[in-house]
């Protein structure tokens, strides 16, 4: 039996979600724009799904949910759409050094369009320095975009404080909350986000589906133009099965998030304790407490994350190294470098993300196999110091 511990990269669709989606492939399949009875049924399903997603983040107005093809598109719409819309007010956008690659690349795009981008540094735990944020804001600042949690090291950002600073300074605040959707409740009435990027798959809904939350009164320029669906903000015929699945996933996640997060936190802590105790020269990256309940991010001296990943692949355990979205590049993680790690340290990292279908036995299997894989790689590594090799010899007996 294989063990999947890469929930941050992709999640299975919950059976209950899939069941709710099925009629929308070939029973209720009309275009909600159509005026006939079948179109009415589609419109009804679309608006019910919108209410469910709105309720998931406690948004009072379902209209604040704009369906998109996923969080990457939502990030584009939030950053490019609001920067272009507000360019007369200013040309300065603030992000952090450890944003998801989609935000980093959008920021580079905006720079080429003449916007000025500031990147807030983070501390050793990957948490942004709030006092730097305050100092970076100028009269030209129109937008702050900081993810609620690092999708890599799992550190939680002080979004409440960021939102207060943004509000006080009259700057818009966007947050990509994809990494925390499945384990930390989101409440737009408690934290006054202007824009949120949401992903359906990250709450066990279908892929190719996401949303942008737009606070009432906020607008963005569209980036996909056409028939004027989604209040003209996102054109294109609706993926009915997709929106229905996203809606259903929202209801389930909202109901189960506390219990699920609690369970995963237990597994995570067991995993962290087990790894740090059983493997010498192993370290936890990111904050020990202010971190996602489902994320454990380790670093091991003298070996490479890629080799570790392949070693675990042989044992039928799926994990990640570096950022989930760019694991095919061999660049060290920009997040770990921003946290002050050396290149060689960043290269020796392993990201383990748990999810709804993670079992205690998955953690046990990883704790059983990982020390052996690390040991084998270290014995082969020219970097391993003699005393550690000696240690392994002794322990082996």
> What is the footprint of a copy of itself within residues 94-133 (CB under 8 A)?
100-102, 105-106, 109
Distance (Å, whole) CA 7 – CA 320? 9
The residue within the footprint of a copy of itself, chosen from 60, 170, 227, 385 (CB under 8 A), is 227
Number of DSSP helices (H) and strands (E) in the chain, helices first: 13, 12
Of 178, 174, 173, residue with least CA distance to 154: 178
Q: Does 63 bind a copy of itself (CB under 8 A)?
A: no
Q: Name the minimum Å distance from CB 33 to a copy of itself.
A: 6
Q: How far is the CB of 280 from a copy of itself (least distance, A)?
A: 25
Tell me the closest approach of the beta carbon of residue 323 to a copy of itself, in angstroms.
9
Q: How far is Cα 115 from Cα 81, in angstroms, rounded to an integer?
A: 13
Residue whose CB is less far from a copy of itself, 73 or 345: 73
| Nearer residue to a copy of itself within complex by CB, 205 or 286 | 205
- State the Cα–Cα distance between residues 335 and 323, nearest whole angstrom: 8
326 touches a copy of itself by CB under 8 A: yes
Residue of 140, 135, 133 lying closest to 116 (CA atoms):
140
Q: Which of the residues 151 through 210 are near a copy of itself (CB under 8 A)? A: 201, 206-209
Which residue stretch of 50-58, 228-236, 268-276, 368-376 sits at the interface with a copy of itself (rule: CB under 8 A)?
Answer: 228-236
Beta carbons of 129 and 160 less than 8 angstroms apart: no
Q: How far is the CB of 43 from a copy of itself (least distance, A)?
A: 10
Tokens found for residue 284:
């936890």
| Residue 1 is a binding residue for a copy of itself (CB under 8 A) | no
Chain positions 73 to 92 lying near a copy of itself, rule: CB under 8 A, are 73, 75-76, 80
CB 303 within 8 A of CB 377: yes
Asked if 70 and 208 touch (Cβ cutoff 8 Å), the reply is: yes
If binding is defined by CB under 8 A, does position 330 make contact with a copy of itself?
A: no
Residue 369, token pair as written in the block? 């196999």
Tell me if residue 165 falls in helix, strand or coil: helix
Helices (H), the chain: 15-21, 23-26, 37-56, 71-85, 101-112, 130-136, 159-169, 240-278, 305-314, 334-338, 343-347, 360-380, 386-396
Pick out residues in 284-313 that bind a copy of itself (CB under 8 A): 306, 309-310, 312-313
Interaction of residue 23 with a copy of itself, rule CB under 8 A: no
**DSSP bridge partners of 67:** 211
Q: Is 325 a catalytic residue?
A: yes
Smallest separation (angstroms) from a copy of itself to the CB of 50: 16
Please count the residues of the chain. 397
Three-state secondary-structure class, residue 141: strand
Using the minimum distance from each CB to a copy of itself, give the nearer residue, 166 or 373. Answer: 373
Q: Which of 53, 320, 352, 366 binds a copy of itself (CB under 8 A)?
A: 320
> C-beta of 318: minimal distance to a copy of itself in Å?
4
Task: Return the number of the residue (225 or 395) whose C-beta is nearest a copy of itself.
Answer: 225
Q: Which is nearer to a copy of itself, 179 or 324 (CB)?
A: 324
Please report whether residue 6 would count as binding a copy of itself according to CB under 8 A: yes
How far is Cα of residue 367 from the mean position of the Cα atoms in its chain? 25
Given the residues 18, 276, 318, 325, the one annotated as active site: 325
Q: Which 3 state secondary structure label does DSSP give 6?
A: strand
CB 76 within 8 A of CB 102: yes
CA 266 to chain centre: 21
Rg of the Cα atoms in the chain: 22
Of positions 83, 241, 275, 341, contacts a copy of itself by CB under 8 A = 241
In degrees, to the nearest 5, what angle opens at C-alpha 86 toward C-alphas 85 and 88? 115
Q: Does residue 381 belong to the site contacting a copy of itself (CB under 8 A)?
A: no
**Could you tell me which stretch among 10-18, 134-142, 279-287, 376-384 binds a copy of itself (CB under 8 A)?**
10-18
Smallest distance, a copy of itself to C-beta of residue 181, A: 14
Instruction: Between 34 and 138, name the residue whose CB sits nearer to a copy of itself.
Output: 34
Task: Check if the beta carbon of residue 338 is closer than 8 Å to that of residue 122.
Answer: yes
Exactly one of 328, 387, 394, 397 binds a copy of itself (CB under 8 A); which one?
328
385 scored as a contact of a copy of itself (CB under 8 A): no
Kindly list the catalytic residues.
325
């Amino acid at each position: 039996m294989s063990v999947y511990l890469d929930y941050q990269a992709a999640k299975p669709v919950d059976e209950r979600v899939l069941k709710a989606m099925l009629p929308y492939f070939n029973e209720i399949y009309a275009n909600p724009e159509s005026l006939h009875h079948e179109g009415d049924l589609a419109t009804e399903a679309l608006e019910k799904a919108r209410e469910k997603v709105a309720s998931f983040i406690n948004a009072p107005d379902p209209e604040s949910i704009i369906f998109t093809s996923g969080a990457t598109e939502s990030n584009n719409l939030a950053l490019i759409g609001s920067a272009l819309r507000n360019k007369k007010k200013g040309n300065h956008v603030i992000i952090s050094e450890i944003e998801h690659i989609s935000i980093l690349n959008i920021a580079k795009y905006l720079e080429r369009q003449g916007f000025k981008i500031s990147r807030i540094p983070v501390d050793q735990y990957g948490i942004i320095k709030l006092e730097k944020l305050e100092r970076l804001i100028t009269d030209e600042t129109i937008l702050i975009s900081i993810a609620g949690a690092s999708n890599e090291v799992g550190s939680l950002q002080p979004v409440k404080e960021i939102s207060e600073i943004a509000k006080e300074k009259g700057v818009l605040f966007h947050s990509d909350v994809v990494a925390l959707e499945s384990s930390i409740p989101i409440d737009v009435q408690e934290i006054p986000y202007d824009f949120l990027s949401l992903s359906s798959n990250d709450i066990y809904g279908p892929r190719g589906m996401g949303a942008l939350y737009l606070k009432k009164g906020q607008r963005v320029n569209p980036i996909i133009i056409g028939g004027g669906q989604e209040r003209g903000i996102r054109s294109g015929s609706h993926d009915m099965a997709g929106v229905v699945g996203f809606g259903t996933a929202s209801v389930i996640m909202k109901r189960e998030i506390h219990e699920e997060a609690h369970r995963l936190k237990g597994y995570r802590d067991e995993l962290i304790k087990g790894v740090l105790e059983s493997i010498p020269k192993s370290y936890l990256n990111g904050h020990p407490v202010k971190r996602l309940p489902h994320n454990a991010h380790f670093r091991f001296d003298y070996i490479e994350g890629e080799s570790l990943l392949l070693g675990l692949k042989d044992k039928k355990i799926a994990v990640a190294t570096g950022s989930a979205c760019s694991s095919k590049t061999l660049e060290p993680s920009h997040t770990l470098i921003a946290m002050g790690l050396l290149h060689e340290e960043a290269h020796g990292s392993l990201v383990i993300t748990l999810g709804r279908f993670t079992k205690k036995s998955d953690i046990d299997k990883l704790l059983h196999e990982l020390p052996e894989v690390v040991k084998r790689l270290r014995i082969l590594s020219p970097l391993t110091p003699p005393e550690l090799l000696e240690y392994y010899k002794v322990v082996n007996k």
